[in-house]
Every structure is written in C-alpha cells, then in structure tokens.
Structure 1
Amino acid sequence: MHFLITGSAGFIGFHLARRLLTAGHTVVGYDAMTDYYDRRLKEARHAILAEHDGFQAVIAPLEDLAALRAAAAIARPDVIVHLAAQAGVRYSLENPRAYVDSNLIGSFNLLEVAREVAPRHLLLASTSSVYGGNETMPFHEVDRADFPITIYAATKKAMEGLAHTYAHLWGLPTTCFRFFTVYGPWGRPDMALFKFVDAIQHGRPIEIYGMGDMRRDFTYVDDLVEAVVRLIDLPPVQGRPVMISGVIDTLSPVAPWRVVNIAGGQPVGLMDFVAAIETALGCRAEKLMRPMQLGDVRETFADHRLLESLTGFRPQTPVTVGVPAFVDWYLSKYQVQ
C-alpha cells in the first residue's frame, strides 16, 4: 500500500514509517522539522527511513496547503496517517499560537487534502489529554471530554470534531486514536523518560512533580505501532459497530468515524517508573520533589476494551522491559560510558 504519514521525523511517526517500510509499503513522510527540540534527532530518524527505497520525504509545515497537496500527489495514498502536531502539554502555556497553527489550521489543511484524495482510511493522532478534568477511571472513549485543561488538549479535541464533520459530509472513513504517555527508543527530549535519564547520566537531580503521587498509563512505542498497524486495516463502516458484550463502540451514527484509546489499561506509579530507570542505569537519582504543575493531571488510565475488540491486541509491555530498551538506545546514541 501507499502511505502518506505526517510527522514522519517525529518519535511515533518514525517508528510507524519504519515498520511500514520494512513490510514493503511505500511511505511519503511529511514533516516541518521545527526547532521545538533538537532537529538533529529528527534528521537522524529521517536518515534511517531514507535507507529504504520506498521512502520519500517532503519538508514543509502543515500550514502550507500547497505543499501538503504536492505531497499527496507524490504519495497517491491508500492510507493517510496524521501524526504531525505541536506536542507537549507544558509548552502550550508558553506558545499557544503554535498549537493553533499546527493542530487546528494544519489539521484542517490535512482534512482538505484527505477529502480531495479520498483514501480508503484516514487515521489521526489525538491524546489522552482530551479527557481533561474527567476524574472517572478508567477513561472510556464515550466519556464526556468537554472540559480540556490545556490548550494542547483543546486543539486535539477540536481536531476530532472537525474530522467527524469531514467523515460525515464526504464519507471519509476516519479513526481518531488517543495516545497515553508513549515512550521508548528515539523518544522526544522533552518527555520525562528522556529528561530523567539524561539528568541522571550527567549528575543532575531530577524533578518529581505532584510530589511523586502520580500515575500514568505508559505505552511502549512498539505496542502503539502494532495497534495502529492493526487499525489501518479496519476502516470504520457506518452501521457496523462492534458487537461484543460489555464493549461500547464509538462508531458515529451519522459517519464512518470512530475514536479509540491506545493503551494497556495498566497505570504505573511515577515513583515505580523512576525506580525502573534507576535499575536500568544501575544508580540512584537525586530527587527534587515538586508540586503539581499547571495543566497536569494526577492520573491517566485507559479503558482498552474497544481497541482489543477491534484488533485482538492491547499494549502489554511492562516498564521493566520498555525502560531498559530506551536506556540502551540513549547510551548508544549519545555514546555515554
């Protein structure tokens, strides 16, 4: 199949594109190569993808509709996977316009291109942050997500709604998946795992927010990619919901549109996560305990049953396996002795 993947130089986009290229598919990767974090890491990811004959890169922002259209003309995509976004909860407090430009205007442009090329399946990355102030656990896809507490979450929820409208108006089979704290090799430097490992290796203390009393539904990147690959072959069909006892489908009654959590439903305490890092590095971290940060939540916890009903799969890699894999990559990549 032919794929157009936005955000191909990003953490998740790189892993997905590599998996698809290895399987023999062609991928046109679209990425703005912004300087939100070190571009050299993004360039290294694209260099690995470029080792495959089936890969072609287009470097441009989502806000450039003409460039997106040109990329789609090159790709002739059977499937579009929209992963590009301005990421990060905390950065949205510093630079909100970047989120509006990329996650709203950019996603609108992507939807316009999808309407024009009519792929067999459009998949868009959303986030667990859309659950916002919801304190009922685990998070079910059908829970209300009307109370976002960050600009990042608000832009992603708006993207979901806009995608539903396009699915309804133009019969565009669309799946929105909500990620939960994805981690693993080639991860972003602004994420906690990278920051913790880098600080410990360089003799700096790590900052533990929420006084350590936080839990996350950590999802290892290979598990996430497996889930996405399986969902690719399952475009929503209006009128054909999942019919499994106890599972509530999110299939729209008026559009071939669905939203799916991607997580294992096994939240891990922050201090247990830190302990896994210490074990992998073979040393203890100096810890600075801090209060909760603005826009943060105490816990994320996904209901995984819809994903498992659709695909027969749910993420299960424990942090005791995933964290050492990241540490091995980090030590190799940055040649830390």
Structure 2
Amino acid sequence: MRAVVVEELTGPQAATLVEIPEPCGAHPRAEGQRLLVDVHAAGLSFIDPLQTWGKYQNGVPTPYVCGSEYAGVVVEAPADADFRPGDRVGGIVWHGALADRALALPEYTVKIPASMSFVEGAALYMNYSTAWYALHRAQVQPGEYILVHGAAGGVGTAALDLAETFGVKAIAVVSSDGKEEAARRCGADAVVRSDGSWLDEVRALTDGRGVHVVIDPVGGDRFTDSLRALRQGGRLVVVGFTGGSIPTVKVSRLLHRNLTVTGITMDNMETEYPGTLRMVRDAVESLAAEGRIRPYVGATFPLEQSAAALRALDDRVAHGKVVVEVVTPGRVRPEVPPVPRGQ
C-alpha cells in the first residue's frame, strides 16, 4: 500500500511517498484491539512537523508513517467495539494516518455523520476533543467571555465554533488579515491582533474587567499578558506550546487576583478518572451528528504533496486544519488486498 514515510529526522522534506506492507496487529497504544481503517483523508496537526524534526516529546523512532489524524471506513474492528466494518469514522492515531490503511484506537475514534465529508472528518476529533475538553475543564458558563489564542489554528477554530454551543462570547487573537478572516468565519465575536495592543483591546471589549477564560495553545512570551487579560477569579487553560517556548508563572499573580491555571491532557486524566475519554468522545460525536459543529479546513493537499502539507504547518502559514486527501475526488482508490485475519 502507499504510505508517507519519514526515514530521517531532517524536517518535512524527509516525508516520502513509498510502498510498504499492510499494517499488522494493532496500534501500539490500542492494547491489542485491532481496528483497521481504509483511510480517505488524513489530518495534520502541530505534532506532525515537530516529529519530522525529532522535537515532539512523544515522538516515535524512524522509519515511521506520518499523519496524526484520519477519516475513513472501518475494515476490521474488535468484536466488543462500538464500530463495525463499513462505519465512517475519524480519530487520532498520532502517526500512521498518511497511508491507504491505518491502525486506529477505539477510544480515540468517533463516527462521522453522512452529512460530513471525509476531509471534514479528518479535521474533527483531535481539534474538537481538545477544544471541548478545554472549555469543559474551565467550567465556562453561558454569557462569559473567552479569549482564544492561536484562533486561526486547528484548536482555535474549533474553540470558536464551540462558543455558541457553550453560550459564550469569543474574542480571537490572530496575527494577520487572513487569520482574522478565518477567525470571524468560525464564529469569533471580536478579533484582536497579536502584533498590536491586544491586551488593551480585550479590556476595552470587556468594560475594563477582562475575560473569564483564556484558552491558550500557544504559550510563549504572551502568557503573562494572558494572565493580565483575566478578570478576578478568571481561569486560564494551557493547551500546548505552539509558540515554541514554555512559559513560567509567578504565583503571586494567581494569589492576588484569585486566578486558576490548569492544563489538559485527556489520556493522562483517563488513568485517574476512567471515563474521561468516553465523555469527550461522546460529546464530539453527538455535536457532529446533530450538525452543530463544522470543522474548518484551511488547505487540502493530495497524498503526493504530503511534504508540502507538512511545510505549511512548519512555516506557520496554515489556517484551520491542514488535510491530505488520500483518496482525491474523481479518483479510484488503489486496490488494497484484505489482510488475512490473525496477522
């Protein structure tokens, strides 16, 4: 089968389309549960270019198949799983999605409604599960203000799209005209620019009091101003560090203004609070089935241009989700022979 493989950690240019054997067994994180999917589209996230440089903290050794998220059709499923052959599904795999077939993880997989394309399905689970869980952990209440950093990125656009579901008013932080357009399209009530006096603008938009919640997938040197943007009793949710550096906190800032800073990592939370993954998965799947969310795909690439797709993320020029079409419109999927059972 076709797959995009990285054999050396020299960046996106190392991603090469080659022929490799069919996947055997189960995904390394699936505890022996074999869920095999015919991939129609693969979603990329910030972890994909990081892995090509060897900079992702949970990276895998080379050679490996790229692609952190997928959408496709179930070929094989465990007997006790919620999925059956023929189901349209999408989910996170961390690596392996840029291929004709991929091994998936039942706990990180959702059903995709017929109203949603495979391209949109490849942009669904990772971003929306992260954004939904961030808002859930922040205990947002209807009528509150949220500030979303990296608002034109995958998690950011998902958070903006979810604002209506949670009944909150969203202020987006972006760095360019194109990203501002994307943020407004995804539901931002207001947009401020990271290269301007965004903190003053946020205060003006909130009658000088600040926002209730900050969703921050960026980190870096704006973190302190994010704390300043919170009102008394505000909450900041750490989602990631796409800005490249991990900030530190002077806890006196938290003490005097009654602030809360929390991080989110669902799989770690699952070990202490079983049911976390299912709660998030069920929420995202239900919202998709009800047509209440619509993933924003900023760019699509054919499988042959996967390296260019990775570069778009690495160069920080992408808006929304970057998706690679493994099966492009009007093209018949190459015949992939079935995998003998028991392998």
TM-score (norm. length: structure 2): 0.35
Which has the larger share of strand?
A: 2
Which has the larger share of helix?
A: 1
